[in-house]
Amino acid sequence: MRNQRKLIAASLYIQGRGAIALLGENARKLGKRAYVIGGRTAISVTEERIRASLDASGIEVVAIDSEVKDCTYATIERLVEKGRRVEPDFVIGVGGGRAVDTAKAVAWKLAVPAVSVGTQCATNADGSAEFVVYTEDHKFLDAVILPDNPAIVIVDTDVIAAAPVKYLIWGMGDALTAKFEGESHAEAMRKKGGSVPTNTALALANATFESLMRNGLEAVEALKHGTHSDAVDEVIEAVKLSSAIAFENTGCALAHALHNGLTQTGTMKAEHGEIVAYGTIVQAAYEGRPDDQVRAIIDWCDSVGLPTKLSAVCDHDRDALVRAIEYACSKDANAESMPEKPDPIRVMEIMDRIESGF
Ligand SMILES: [Zn+2]
């Protein structure tokens, strides 16, 4: 179809303090038999509240599995087998990205809807129609696109705020890039004649960035002091809702390509969101955005505790770094979302300039 405009998202998103209490009454339309899947910590923190909410709405927990560590094909198969025996009406994934991704995969294979209950803020996978599969030794294997988004996303901010603050910082690092990668993706698609993202998705990417700049530091400070301020709620929405819809309806570009290049060519000492935050600084500078804007991103990252230098994310020597940049510019599919094929020599120059204090 020519001039197509398309946007996908979860059908229902509910965020708030004590939001798990609303799980049952909203899930009732999906059926009466729930299969709950998650990691041990996430389930132990939420099980009582989940059971109480489902029970109050006459929904039975037909099985619960709290052994999800990683989203691997073996784990998915084991849980699908269990699911076939108990025949649930829907699957509830409880936890971080690995748990909700596993639950989405299991629900899809059982041909029932998925529900996500996020318990920390490092991921925005809760509402996406995709799951990422890893090998047993936690190497990226596959990203599988699903026909449907989860039916319900529950974000209980009491639970998220009680998780270690590092998760929120990592989530902000990954969400930070939505504006930059989304905008370059849009420009690339316009130029190459591909499917251009909606203005709606781009507006959400920009809203994510502005919310993080405005509320990020205050939210981190609040959580470090054990308080739950409005800024915390703003950042949770920016990561879990705005950035999620923006990401899924635009595309990744140089920031994620660089992440993938670096993780392929050496050992990392930083998490996904931290590496992506650094990659965002590189992409913003590479695109020739005004120095003031790049410096504002660097200062903000410094203030919230995200890395702003390569030396903070990995110990690659020069050869490994050259290979990482080559991979990012030529082999990684995300490079297609740059308006021009990225030039490895310029990327290296930009990274050197950032390293010596932009
Ligand atoms: Zn990411």
209-253 per-position pLDDT tens digit:
999 999 999 999 999 999 999 999 999 999 999 999 999 999 999
Fold assignment, 165-355: Dehydroquinate synthase-like, alpha domain (1.20.1090)
**155 CA from centroid of ligand 1 (Å):** 19
Please state whether beta strands 140-145 and 130-134 pair in parallel, antiparallel, or not at all (unpaired): antiparallel
pLDDT category, 137, cuts 50, 70, 90? confident
What percent of the chain is predicted at pLDDT more than 90?
A: 95
Neighbours of ion ligand 1 (CB under 5 A): 174
pTM above 0.95, yes or no: yes
How far is Cα 216 from Cα 234, in angstroms, rounded to an integer? 9
**143 CA from centroid of ligand 1 (Å):** 12
Catalytic residue set:
174, 256, 259, 272
Q: Where are the domains of the chain?
A: 12-162, 165-355
Fold assignment, 12-162: Rossmann fold (3.40.50)
pLDDT, tens only, 13-26: 999 999 999 999 99
**230 CA from centroid of ligand 1 (Å):** 25
**272 CA from centroid of ligand 1 (Å):** 6
